[in-house]
Chains A and B, each alone.
Chain A
């Protein structure tokens, strides 16, 4: 808000008011606080594990210039790609359809519950919103029962496994896609509803007078106006699903269908101790897709979380 810059008689340092200097120092200091664990991780991830001493985890590997910092090597990243490769592929197979389905269905639900207004829709909508706050523990055991003992998804996939690119274990990923779609729906619906409430009613009313059907209104008017919101929703869902561990742990459990977060838990630990360069490289590799999305679309991510 109002600043004190340049007020006569105030303490100043190099022409800046002391107040501003303190302000920027705190802001930069907090920036360091948020970045240093990531910076340390990046620096450690490019150290040759054999030369790693751990004395200066925050410095880049500068041996022989600076002793004790280790030598530069991409070996940890190579190890991370080898260790997480399968998990990364599975995560991509999971996250792309789950993000698209939850976004599309969320937009449709919000349209049916907002743009077309009818009595009692708020009651239905409250059930959607409440779904955002459910601790997932409350559904885990039924979910495992459902996918392992009720739905014969595995039996469906067994004959399909002869097709190219289809493996029998993919049934677990399909189960995970449907699960993530269902549990992502509440937040997607909330985000789209907030957007649709702001759209003016005039266009929809005019279309209705012209005798346009509900689906025409959605396809011709609402969907084109939803594109900015789809970006927000897709980014949010992508991050959420990519980062999830709990559902993967309880639905995939273990085996070939394990996703990247599952593989990351155990990486870099062996009988001979912890391989920190490998572990940091793996953590960064697993975080890379969401980090890139955040760096390039940060404003949209902020919009998603603030809603």
Chain B
């Protein structure tokens, strides 16, 4: 009996002879394929993401079917969809003595935050990009300033805005006071919380939308601007009718990235509210999931919420990646 490894080694060392051998040339050695020869480069990273991303996602799905709660290790012998029933309809699950509320509140907040944040970011980014594109002086300085907040972490941004929103000393309230309004409690006000979070996130990420749109504007041939001018179109009309429709690709890619950013707003809320409890009116799925798992010890229920969040992200990203693939842009 020959050890398969020895066979493999021999084939590896002899593969040149095998090729000149005539009969086996067309099939070649499997080790001679480009996919195999380049495997030392792409395979280790691929195994790493295979284990950490796809393995972990699969494991998470299985965990969401268990009753894993509190300390100890998960029991994989009895799998069911109870956690999803609880997530959608609420009730008292078998692993708890307490009633668990469904996810609708945080799901709704997630969608509201996602839509308002992305739409305002895109609109503001587009306006800024058009203004920066007017052959202005100090263009680099303006661009650098607008993108600056994006280099900060969510945690730092939250600390800055916690200060800005402060009732007594915050700049927002000082400004409101100057125009005769206020002072208003913002951070703990159930009616304003989510808007305050969205506003701070818009401050942080609208510069990103600007950069993407600016690249899109610069890619449009100058002749399109000139043609619209010759036709006597006004500036507003030119942008609305001729230029903005050509920014579809830029819009879609910025939108996808911003949407995913908003799904990740956990860090911001954790820092803003100093822990796992942003309160019901600012609770999003990302915070609910981490709170259930890491604060309440409801690991399996947290996993189920994570699966729902994952499906939401998938619903946004899959069409995007597919269209990129179709257009050969991957």
Given A116-B37, A245-B154, A269-B274, residue A128 in contact with residue B49 (CB < 8 A): yes
Chain A residues within 8 Å of B154, by CB: 243, 245
The reply to whether B152 and A34 form a contact with Cβ atoms under 8 Å apart is no
CB–CB A23/B52 < 8 A: no
Q: How large is the interface on B (under 10, 10 to 19, 20 to 34, 35 or more residues)?
A: 35 or more
Contact in complex: B151, A37 (CB < 8 Å): no
Q: How close is A95's CB to chain B, nearest CB, in angstroms?
A: 12
Give chain A residues whose Cβ lies under 8 Å from the Cβ of B310.
134-135, 137-138
Q: Is the CB of A138 within 8 A of B307?
A: yes
Whether A291 and B203, one on each chain, are in contact in the complex, defined by CB atoms closer than 8 angstroms, is no
- Nearest residue, chain B, Cβ from A104: B45
**Cβ distance B203 to chain A, nearest Cβ, rounded Å:** 7
User: Considering the complex, which residues of chain A in the window 288-307 have a beta carbon less than 8 Å from any beta carbon of chain B?
Assistant: 290-291, 293-295, 298, 301-302, 305-306
Q: Which of B87-95, B96-104, B161-169 lies on the face that meets chain A?
A: B161-169
Quick check: is B118 within 8 A (CB to CB) of the other chain? no
- The answer to the question of B112 belonging to the interface, with a C-beta cut-off of 8 Å to chain A, is no
Q: Is B237 an interface residue (CB 8 A)?
A: no
Query: Could you tell me if A139 and B38 are in contact, using CB atoms closer than 8 angstroms?
Result: no
Contact B134–A186 (Cβ < 8 Å): no
What's the least CB distance linking B209 to chain A, in Å? 11
Q: In the complex the two chains form, is B53's CB within 8 Å of A27's CB?
A: no
The answer to whether B19 has its CB under 8 Å from any CB of chain A is no
Looking across the interface, which residue of chain A has its beta carbon closest to that of B40? A215
Please choose the segment from A6-14, A140-148, A155-163, A226-234 that sits at the chain B interface, where 4 or more of its residues have CB less than 8 A away: A140-148
Residue pair A37, B203 in contact (C-beta under 8 Å): yes
A111 touches B38 (CB 8 A): yes
Q: Output the residue of B56, B143, B169, B256 with the most chain A CB within 10 A.
A: B56
| Contact residues of B between 160 and 214, Cβ < 8 Å to A | 160-161, 163-164, 166, 168-171, 174, 203, 207-208, 211-212
Residues of A near B215 (CB, < 8 A) are 306
Interface residues of A (CB under 8 A from B): 1-3, 23-24, 26-27, 30-31, 33-38, 40-41, 44, 54-55, 57-58, 105-106, 108-109, 111-113, 116-122, 124-146, 149, 179, 181-183, 185-186, 189, 213-215, 218, 239, 242-246, 249-250, 253, 261, 264-266, 269, 276, 279-280, 282-284, 286-287, 290-291, 293-295, 298, 301-302, 305-306
